[in-house]
Structure 1
Amino acid sequence: MSSSTQERSSWSGKWAFILAGAASAVGLGNMWRFPYLAAKYGGGTFILTYLILVFTFGVTLLLLECALGRRTGLSAIGAFRHFGKKFAFIGVLASAVPFIIAPYYSIIGGWVTKYTFAYLMNGPAALADDGKFFTSFISSPVESFVWMAVFMIVVFIIVGLGVDGGIERANLVMMPALIVMAIALVVYIISMPGAMSGVAYYLIPDVAKFSPELFVSALGQMFYSLSLAMGIMITYGSYLDKKSSLPHSVANIGMFDLGVSILAGLMIVPAAFVAMGSGEAVAAKSGPSLMFITLPKVFESMGPQVATVIGFLFFLLVAFAAITSAISLIETMTSIIMDGKGYSRKKAFTITCVFTFVMGIFINLGFNGLSFFQPLGKGSTILDLFDFVSNSVLMPIVAVLTLVFVGWIVKPKTLIDEIEVSAPFKLQAAWSVMVKYIAPVLVIVIMVAYVGAQFGVFKF
């Protein structure tokens, strides 16, 4: 018996798994991408489309990956190799994703951590300067690296304490705190004069805005938000006992992800209405510029004392979301090395930390020392390249291969039997159809659309 088998971790129960899965799913994408997309694509129309996709396509893939992990008791490479060595390559591709994402995700996590403290140390006015503060910080040859390291150290300490002693306890504190802070911020923001116009803009469906572009955007957001096709849910499923109901658990993970996404929009869109008189500011911005340039200006318009509190709480909330997602990436990488090399957890974890830190330094150089290297065209960075390769190329390929593998090679019945170990699976026929026919087509649509968008063929 290898040391990795001897030391394999497990969740203390079903809710520990649900919280961990939700913590992995709830990340930066919920905070800076969902509100922008909802504002751009007809508010409630986008939310309704997203909801339907989460509880059909999204839950289908979540259930597949969790069942695959629990059936084999292994992380991605081992889980696919379990059915034959020739299938291990699917696990290798899936396993590459967290190794690509974790370093650059930690860089952005460092930005969020910096802003959390900056609201207390520098004040809201210093951050609301049309991006000068942000640009000077990320291009700094010292400061940006220091805050990346601070973020990584927090994540490393939590994962280093183990699944039950570190990850479960951190999720038990951070996930409820994140939700409480989000609700408190929503209540405050929507009580401000003029905010209800933003709420209406955000929640009331504008059916005229439904389009293929809306559908593809909702599909892509759902796919990337739920931690699919990156080995995480296979790893987390491998820690789950046989008594826990998989369909119930993954439905709860989907609900957490949807709920936090909607709350994020209820914070950001009405706040933009109050400050700027319309939701167009949100609809026109996404990603880092929305989070680090537009929102500080919105907060600053609330007055210095209010802006300090709101800005600090908002970025603390986002920091918690970033930390919980980074935890799942580091844990998955550790588990992959343990299962693949037979190393002890301590040795695998050490390798994971060193790799993440070194790669983080390299990617971060793209904003200063290596800024001349623009791999995807003018203005692009090394981080953009890593994000494109992982999100737009590898993840859809892994998802298609996984769906073909389960749908046509080992057959859905193999995983249906695993799912039914804990509870009857009434939707098995619909799930099988989704796995075999519908989901592969939808993933191919995501890949074509997002790769095409990168090269200017489509615009999203």
Structure 2
Amino acid sequence: MSSKNRNTFSTSFGFVLAAAGSAVGLGNIWRFPYLAAKDGGGLFLVMYLVLAVTFGFALLTTEVAIGRKTKQSPLTAYRELHKKWGWLGKVACIIPMLILPYYCVIGGWVLKYALVFLTGKGAAAAGDGYFTSFITAPYSPIVFTVIFLFLSCFIIYRGVKKGIEALSKILMPVLVVLVIGISVFALTMSRTADDGTLRTGLDGLKIFVIPDLTGITANKFMITLMDAMGQLFYSLSVAMGIMIAYGSYVPNKSNLVKSINRIEIFDTAVAILAGVMIIPTVFVFMGKEGIGASGPGLMFVAMPKIFSQMGFIGNIIGAVFFVMVFFAALTSSISILEAVVSSFMDEFKISRRRSVVIEGVLALVLGVIVCLGYNKLYFELALPNGATAQILDVMDYISNNILMPVVSIGTCILVGWIIKPKSMLDEITRNGESFARKNLYVFMVKFLAPVLLIILFLKSLGVLTF
């Protein structure tokens, strides 16, 4: 696809909403609150905020700048920067190809629960074994996966302006309103526990925002630091090729510094609101120990049980909650798909329609395999980090724990030491913008970010333990 004929976002605000929509996904909603609760509440929050404006900012800025500078997708952008580094683009393209199938499977689960609550049957979803019986069913999970994947493909087929940007301008404001609404409701809740103590949403908020330094050690500090850094990959959608693809659609006249700052603020605010929304709610109904549920257990088991305890209003709140999660999942899914589709278009010079069909079929095949991983193809495998996994977990581990750190480390080496940070700084300030964090950016890309990423990578492989 020629850069002259390349689609672009119509406005900088459209780019910010699309990028924020990509960043605000399932990782923010079901992973961020769990890690915050596990790692000392406010301690994790402080580390996350510091890393967001340093480490995360450097990676996000670099990827967006690479995209706009090259006007290429992740598969071809690295080759455009340096001919010998084209391999990095291939790895960056493999990541979203691995993530999309299982993300659509989980998106199908969310769609299923949204429909259950919208039809007034939320109480059934709170039953013991409901989630397990659903994901192990032979056909139902596949049907919902197909529906979710089709919606994602349809939006991407419509293109940058009519698909990605148009949807983001509608869904993101609605998503923010829903998140804020549920957060306010969570803070106003209260309930008397079985032991007679009164639990309030504000007490749950304290767990989230006030640092718990009880028993803090160097090892615990490092674990929290690594968790916060790992979360940034999910929160900012970096190392997946997404921001390179989206950056390639940013007009040259746009103020890149301002746009990146807005994405940081938007994403961080929603991540924090996700914690405000979930941690106080779980605390009120399940106590501090209940906050330990993570991933599917938090979203599809703990939350429905909580909604069932709210009475009639619980079905309404549950419907609003799962619709909100569905919107978040969909905006992230389309960004993952776009990273692959744009790569196919640039590398093989084929149409958007054909690229969507090819990747849609690939994602469908792998998505069905992921669904079958809970019944006919079920197995258990011990991962290097000590976790027990089946097909979805294996794909997640390879993409998130191995390939994403490799791409980020390679990007830092390429930009920091091969083509030099000045190449990115020139792009960032193309229109004479003031770049206040210029020195911080150079330091992070050349020195600190690569070191932190290598530590994270070695920890993921089980070489380092804390």
What TM-score range do you get, normalising by the shorter chain? over 0.9
Paired with 2:460 and 2:314, the residues of 1 have a C-alpha distance of: 36
1:158 deviates by 1.2
Paired with 2:340 and 2:456, the residues of 1 have a C-alpha distance of: 25
Q: Deviations over 1:400-458 (max 9, x none)?
A: 01100000100001111111112132332221111000000111122122232xx9x74
The one-letter amino acid paired with 1:214 is T
1:6 deviates by 6.3
Paired with 2:213 and 2:223, the residues of 1 have a C-alpha distance of: 13
Residue equivalent to 1:184: 181
Residue equivalent to 1:408: 417
Paired with 1:50 and 1:5, the residues of 2 have a C-alpha distance of: 36
Q: Aligned in 2, Cα 1:214/1:372: closer, same or farther, shift over 3 Å?
A: closer
Residue equivalent to 1:356: 363
Aligned pairs, how many? 450
The one-letter amino acid paired with 1:204 is I
Paired with 1:347 and 1:7, the residues of 2 have a C-alpha distance of: 18
The one-letter amino acid paired with 1:104 is Y
Farther-moved stretch of structure 1 (119-128 vs 340-349): 119-128
Farther-moved stretch of structure 1 (114-123 vs 42-51): 114-123
Q: Aligned in 2, Cα 1:378/1:331: closer, same or farther, shift over 3 Å?
A: closer
The one-letter amino acid paired with 2:392 is L
Alignment of 1:48-59 (within 5 A): 48-59=46-57
Residue equivalent to 1:106: 104
Q: Deviations over 1:134-169 (max 9, x none)?
A: 111111111000011111111111111111001111
Residue equivalent to 2:72: 74
1:57 deviates by 0.6
Paired with 1:46 and 1:69, the residues of 2 have a C-alpha distance of: 31
Residue equivalent to 1:137: 134
Paired with 2:98 and 2:126, the residues of 1 have a C-alpha distance of: 32
Paired with 1:122 and 1:178, the residues of 2 have a C-alpha distance of: 22
Paired with 1:378 and 1:414, the residues of 2 have a C-alpha distance of: 41
The alignment's C-alpha RMSD in Å is: 1.8
1:378 deviates by 9.1
Residue equivalent to 1:249: 259
Contact kept, 8 Å, 2:134 with 2:140, in 1: the verdict is yes
Farther-moved stretch of structure 1 (370-379 vs 113-122): 370-379
TM-score by length of 1: 0.94
Contact kept, 8 Å, 1:112 with 1:318, in 2: the verdict is yes
- Where 2:461 maps in the other structure, the secondary structure is helix
The one-letter amino acid paired with 1:288 is P
Alignment of 1:433-448 (within 5 A): 433-448=443-458
Match of 1:161 among 125, 148, 158: 158
1:212 deviates by 1.6
Question: Unaligned stretches of 5+ in structure 2?
Answer: 191-199
Alignment of 1:184-333 (within 5 A): 184-193=181-190, 194-208=200-214, 209=216, 211-276=221-286, 278-282=287-291, 284-303=292-311, 305-333=312-340
Residue equivalent to 2:197: none
1:307 deviates by 1.2
Contact kept, 8 Å, 2:28 with 2:234, in 1: the verdict is no
Contact kept, 8 Å, 1:4 with 1:344, in 2: the verdict is no
- Where 2:35 maps in the other structure, the secondary structure is helix
Paired with 1:42 and 1:312, the residues of 2 have a C-alpha distance of: 30
Runs of 4+ residues over 3 Å off in structure 1: 3-7, 207-210, 372-379
Paired with 1:286 and 1:34, the residues of 2 have a C-alpha distance of: 9
1:124 deviates by 2.5
Percent identity at matched positions? 44
Match of 2:399 among 373, 385, 390: 390
Paired with 2:382 and 2:225, the residues of 1 have a C-alpha distance of: 29
Question: Unaligned stretches of 5+ in structure 1?
Answer: none
- Where 1:240 maps in the other structure, the secondary structure is coil
The one-letter amino acid paired with 2:177 is V
1:371 deviates by 1.1
1:4 deviates by 5.5
Contact kept, 8 Å, 2:78 with 2:85, in 1: the verdict is yes
Q: Aligned in 2, Cα 1:362/1:5: closer, same or farther, shift over 3 Å?
A: farther
Contact kept, 8 Å, 1:98 with 1:332, in 2: the verdict is yes
1:84 deviates by 3.5
